[in-house]
Amino acid sequence: MLARRKFLTTSLLTLGGINFLSAGQNESSSLPLAKDLKAKGLKPGDTIGLVCPAHSAFIKQDVQFAIEAFEVMGFKTKVGKHVFDRHGYLAGKDADRAADINEMFADKSINAIMAMHGGWGAARLLPLLDYKLIQKNPKIFIGYSDITSLLLAIYKETGLITFHGPVGSSTWNSFSTDYFKRTLIEGQAVEMVNPVSKKDNLVQTDDRIYTITPGQATGKLLGGNLTVLSHILGSPYVPDFKGAILFLEDVGEQVYRMDRMLTQLKLAGILNQISGFVFGKCSECLPSKESYGSLTLEDLFEDHIRPLNIPAFSGAMIGHIANKFTVPVGLDASIDASKGIIRFAEPAVLV
C-alpha cells in the first residue's frame, strides 16, 4: 500500500449549481444527526457509481471488470468523471476527486457509490465533502482500506450507515458476492460467520477464529483500516467510540508499526471506551525471518486487548482478502467472541 501521511489544505468547489464547501466554510459540525440514517437497498436495474477517492485507476481493464461484474448482478454503472485522472499516485486533484463523490450523491439516477480502489488520498477529501448534501441524499457508500476515512467521516457527520466491504477492483467471488447481496440487496439482518473448510487436512487451518477474550458484547460496529484510523485521530471526523465494537484490519505492516498504532488508540482513549473488539486480517504482517525477537500479532493482542477484559477475537473475514464480509459501519451489532460471530440487530438498508 502507498504511504498515508499528510492532509492538504482545500479549496471551494462549485459544480452544477451545487456548493461544495471548503475547509473554511464547512458547516458539517453543526449538522443535526439522524440516528442510524439508512440508504435504500439495491434492486435490479439500479445504478452503481464508481469513484476513485484515492489511488488512480491505472488499469482501465479493472474498471471494465467491475462494470461487467455488476452487469451480471443486474446493475448498471456510471463512472465518475475523474476516475482515470492522474496526479502522481492520486486519481487527480483533491477537488476533482471530492467533486465526483459529491456529484454522485446529488445525482438522482445513482443508487449506490463504490470506490474502485484504496491506496492513499481519501482523507485529503474530508473537508471537501458536502455533508449536508449527503445527509439529504442518503445512498449506499462502500469501500475498504484507505476508504475507511470516508466511511467514518460520513457516518460521524451525517449519521448515514456506510459499508466497509468490496471495492470495484475486488475479487467478486461467491463468498463476497453473497454477503454483498444479503446485506445490500436482500436487506437481511446478517450474521457474519467465517467459512468452514478443512480441505485435505485433519483440522481447519485457514480462516480460523482466534479468541482473545471470550464472551458476548453489543454496540455500534465502528472501525476499518487501523493505519487510516490512527492517522485521522484528533480530527473532527472521528466518531464517538464509547460503547462501540471496534473492528480493524490492515495490510503490509510490520508488527512494531501495528504496536505503535494500537498504542496510539490506547493513548487516545479509544480502547478504554469500547465494549468489544474484532480484528479481521492483517495480510502480509508476519515478522520477517530477519526480525529476531520481534513481537507477534498475538503478543500485541495479549498486551493491548486482553487487559481490557472485553469480548474480543481476531480472524474475521475483514481486510485485504478475496473472501470478505460487507460490514455496516455504525449499525448496532453483537459479537460472540468464543464463536467468532458478528450479528446485526436489524437490516443495514431500507427495503
Burial of 341: CB neighbours in 10 Å, binned 0-12, 13-18, 19+ = middle
Query: Within the chain, which residue ranges are assigned CATH 3.40.50.10740?
Result: 30-184
> Across the strands, what pairs with 20?
13
CB 216 within 8 A of CB 339: no
pLDDT digits (tens, 9 = 90+) for 186-215: 999 999 999 988 888 888 888 899 999 999
Q: Tell me the CATH number for domain 191-344.
A: 3.50.30.60
CB hemisphere CA count around 196 (13 angstroms): 5
Give span(s): CATH 3.50.30.60, the chain. 191-344
pLDDT of residue 202: 85
pLDDT over 70 at 43, yes or no: yes
The CATH class of the 30-184 domain is alpha beta
Whether 77 contacts 66, CB under 8 Å: yes
Q: What is the pLDDT of residue 317?
A: 97
Question: Among 87-101, 110-124, 290-304, 315-329, which stretch is predicted with the lowest mean pLDDT?
Answer: 290-304
Confidence at 16, pLDDT banded by 50, 70, 90 = very low
pLDDT tens digits, 105-115: 999 999 999 99
State pLDDT tens for residues 229-248.
Answer: 999 999 999 999 999 999 99
Which residues are known to be catalytic?
145, 249, 320
- Give the bridge partners for 37, in sequence order: 160
Q: What is the mean pLDDT of the chain?
A: 90
Q: With 50 as the cut, is the pLDDT of residue 13 above it? A: no
325 within 8 A of 318, measured Cβ to Cβ? yes
Q: What is the pLDDT of residues 82-137, one digit of tens each?
A: 999 999 999 999 999 999 999 999 999 999 999 999 999 999 999 999 999 999 99
